[in-house]
Amino acid sequence: YIAYALGKLKIRNQLIESAAGLNAEMISFASPRDAVIAISFSPYAPAAIDEARVISEQGVPIVAITDSSFSPLAQFAKVWFEVAEADFAGFRSLSATMALAMALTVAVGEKRREAGRKPKA
């Protein structure tokens, strides 16, 4: 959802999810001028944690969305959001996560819009 919404706002982004095994290559292009939104919940996907570690080592700031301050994802994040979801027999509702995703996307879009209105020096 975040990638779709950012795209609709004309904000460049890249969803790192490749069935072809190209995640490492895509991640290698990230720089400290970028930002990463990393999302993982218990049981934490090992690939997501490994990718967050690599991205962090590249100096890229990470915003994490996870379910606990003890999440392995939180240790790599500059900022992290703890989301408590309703759990039904191992299935999360994701309502709170989607609301947070929407709020973050709208906030980024609004910040960009405000920055565009400022006079250029």
pLDDT, tens digit, 9 for 90 and up, residues 2-57: 999 999 999 999 999 877 888 999 999 999 999 999 999 989 999 999 999 999 99
Per-residue pLDDT for 120 more than 60?
no
For residue 31, what are its two tokens? Answer: 């720089």
Distance between CA atoms of 109 and 14, rounded to whole angstroms?
Answer: 16
Give domain limits for the chain. Answer: 2-117
Superfamily for 2-117?
Glucose-6-phosphate isomerase like protein; domain 1 (3.40.50.10490)
pTM of the model as a whole: 0.85
Q: Residue 117: which pLDDT band, with cuts at 50, 70 and 90? A: low
Per-residue pLDDT for 93 more than 90?
no
Q: Which among 2, 24, 3, 1 has a CA at the least distance from the CA of 14?
A: 3
